[in-house]
């Protein structure tokens, strides 16, 4: 049996004592950190172009070489990609030569990068890439026309500025990011909500355009944050009580969902250990099975339990809310829920004591529910209202209640201690 991480039994209450996890995580024989980016290792901001990443974090990630991957719906490359932030943080250092690019999967799992900045898109066709290349211009034209009409009636210069901030020209996950629009339209009651629903309709039309081009099975729309999925796809989280709800409308390649990315990364992790890919060298997010049961079953078949690492999964976007159609039910979503739930399920299936960690990113520029520490000991469901609930099947093990800076301190110490542990072995 693989060595276990701390507290492998399911918790009834999450812990905020991150220091208690360090001794075991730093000495466990095999560790794999799978981590989201925005809100986890950097602040959540309205405009992605203003994001910053810390050089010390990049060095810590490099120290965890082979034991660390990112898994994000953002991208490595492009004008809004994280690589631009890495290069800015590096200053005079050559990020590729130093191996300081963040290894792992972006665009939900269809864009892979190594620490030297080498990027590929396994399983993605030229026709799909060509269609995606047109989407930013289409989104800009649509948004400009909407903002010109009532109830917005924005001037040409205001429209141009807002469109430039809201349309993210990601190469394989072009996105409408309405955070800036939410901020700009806050003084007009109902205006942002109208724009939010119009954006969802436009995305539906874009899917129809792709189908007409012979790419009907190629794409889907990811809402962030969301209220989980139903038979029609992800459910939009409406703007309520001063919170923006769904702000990101990402046009993504089908198969690009984070939970599948966990198996793609494990396949690479095992190859580094053994020299062989248990799921085959060509395994990728586009040809992987869908659904947690199928993914866990595939993992059981393919991965040697003796080599299964303890996985630390880290995210910041989870939602739990009353169902708008039935107040007695809860709907649960969030772009990190799928991959964290799979990390939990794999820990249970392999006895590897995986750890699910949540970073409270509510103190950033974007309003979202935060952890209410005063209720955590006696009423964790109330403490995590809007994030989780008492009946949530996803059990959070560890909370970074002070946000991404607290996580960065933990991450840096974990990298340092694992280096010490490896030298002593």
36-57 residue pLDDT tens: 999 999 999 888 889 999 999 9
Q: What is the pLDDT of residue 5?
A: 42
Q: Which class for 246: exposed (0-12), middle (13-18), buried (19 or more C-beta within 10 A)?
A: buried
**pTM: predicted TM-score of the whole model, two decimal places:** 0.90
Residue 114 pLDDT > 70: yes
Q: What is the pLDDT of residue 425?
A: 61
Residue 287 pLDDT > 50: yes
* Tokens representing residue 309 in the block: 């690492």
Nearest to 392 by CA among 326, 332, 313: 332
Whether the CB-CB separation of 99 and 90 falls below 8 Å is answered with no
- What does the mean pLDDT of the chain come to? 92
71: β partners: 105
Give the tens place of pLDDT for each residue, 15-32. 999 999 999 999 999 999
Range of weakest confidence among 32-46, 233-247, 344-358, 380-394: 233-247
In the chain, pLDDT over 90 holds for what percent of residues? Answer: 80
* Interval 87-92 mean pLDDT: 96
* Interval 297-324 mean pLDDT: 96
Q: What is the pLDDT of residue 172?
A: 95
Q: What is the pLDDT of residue 232?
A: 79
How many helices and strands, by DSSP H and E, does the chain display? 13, 16
46: β partners: none
In the block, tokens 């040409």 appear at: 156
Angle at 290 between CA 287 and CA 294, to 5 degrees: 105
CB atoms under 10 Å from CB of 377, counted, come to: 10
Q: What is the pLDDT of residue 12?
A: 59
The residue among 190 and 60 whose pLDDT is bigger is 60
Q: What is the pLDDT of residue 10?
A: 47
Nearest to 107 by CA among 42, 33, 170: 170
The 8 Å CB, 24+ separation contacts for 296-304 are 296/342, 296/345, 296/346, 296/349, 298/263, 299/263, 299/266, 299/346, 299/349, 299/350, 300/349, 302/267, 302/278, 303/266, 303/270, 303/278, 303/350, 304/270, 304/274, 304/278
- Report the distance separating Cα 1 and Cα 291, nearest Å: 26
Give the tens place of pLDDT for each residue, 202-251. 999 999 999 999 999 999 999 988 888 887 788 999 888 778 889 999 99
Domains of the chain, start order: 18-121+258-265+289-424 (3.40.50.1000), 126-253 (no CATH)
Query: Which stretch, 115-129, 179-193, 217-231, has highest mean pLDDT?
Result: 115-129
Residue 424 pLDDT > 80: no
Whether the CB-CB separation of 250 and 224 falls below 8 Å is answered with yes
104: β partners: 70, 113
Give the tens place of pLDDT for each residue, 135-164. 999 999 999 999 999 999 999 999 999 999
Q: What is the pLDDT of residue 39?
A: 96
Q: What is the pLDDT of residue 186?
A: 79
Residue 253 pLDDT > 60: yes
Element of type H or E holding 337: helix 337-350
- Report the distance separating Cα 418 and Cα 67, nearest Å: 10
Spatial neighbors of 422 by CB under 8 A, at least 6 apart, are none
Give the tens place of pLDDT for each residue, 320-336. 999 888 878 999 999 99
* Tokens representing residue 109 in the block: 């799992």
Torsion over CA: 371, 374, 375, 376 (sign): positive
353 phi, psi to nearest 5 deg? 60, 40
- Report the distance separating Cα 90 and Cα 59, nearest Å: 10
């Amino acid at each position: 049996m693989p060595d276990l991480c701390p507290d492998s039994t399911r918790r009834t209450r999450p812990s905020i004592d991150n220091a208690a996890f360090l001794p075991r995580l730093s000495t466990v024989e095999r560790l794999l950190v799978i981590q989201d980016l925005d809100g986890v290792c950097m602040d959540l901001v309205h405009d992605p172009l203003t994001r910053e990443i810390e050089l010390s974090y990049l060095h810590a990630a490099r120290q965890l070489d082979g034991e660390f991957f990112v898994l994000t719906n953002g991208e490595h490359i492009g004008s809004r990609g994280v690589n631009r932030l890495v290069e800015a943080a590096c200053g005079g250092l050559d990020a590729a030569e130093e191996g300081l690019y963040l290894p792992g999967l972006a665009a939900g799992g269809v864009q892979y990068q190594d620490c030297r900045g080498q990027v590929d898109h396994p399983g993605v066709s030229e026709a799909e890439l060509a269609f995606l290349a047109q989407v930013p211009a289409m989104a800009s034209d649509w948004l400009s026309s909407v903002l010109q009409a009532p109830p917005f009636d924005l001037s040409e210069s205001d429209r141009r500025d807002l469109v430039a901030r809201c349309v993210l020209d990601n190469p394989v996950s072009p996105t409408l990011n309405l955070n800036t629009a939410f901020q700009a339209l806050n003084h007009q009651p109902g205006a942002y909500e109208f724009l939010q629903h119009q954006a969802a309709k436009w995305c539906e039309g874009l899917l129809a355009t792709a189908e007409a081009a012979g790419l009907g099975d190629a794409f889907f729309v990811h809402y962030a944050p969301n209220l989980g999925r139903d038979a029609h796809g992800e459910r939009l989280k409406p703007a309520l009580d001063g919170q923006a709800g769904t702000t990101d409308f990402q046009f993504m390649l089908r198969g690009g969902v984070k939970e599948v990315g966990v198996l793609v990364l494990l396949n690479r992790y095992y190859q580094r250990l053994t020299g062989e890919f248990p799921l085959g060298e060509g395994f990728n997010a586009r040809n992987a099975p869908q659904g947690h049961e199928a993914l866990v079953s595939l993992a059981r078949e393919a991965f040697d339990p003796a080599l299964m690492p303890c996985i630390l999964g880290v995210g910041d976007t989870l939602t739990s809310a009353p169902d708008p159609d039935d107040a007695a039910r809860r709907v649960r979503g969030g772009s990190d829920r799928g991959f964290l739930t799979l990390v939990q399920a794999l820990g249970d299936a392999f006895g590897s004591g995986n750890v699910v960690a949540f970073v409270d990113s509510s103190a950033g520029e974007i309003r979202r529910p935060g952890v209410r520490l005063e209720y955590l000991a006696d009423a964790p469901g109330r403490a995590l209202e809007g994030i989780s609930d008492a009946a949530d099947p996803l059990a959070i093990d560890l909370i970074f209640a002070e946000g991404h800076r607290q996580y960065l301190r933990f991450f840096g110490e974990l990298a340092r201690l694992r280096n010490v542990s490896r030298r002593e072995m």
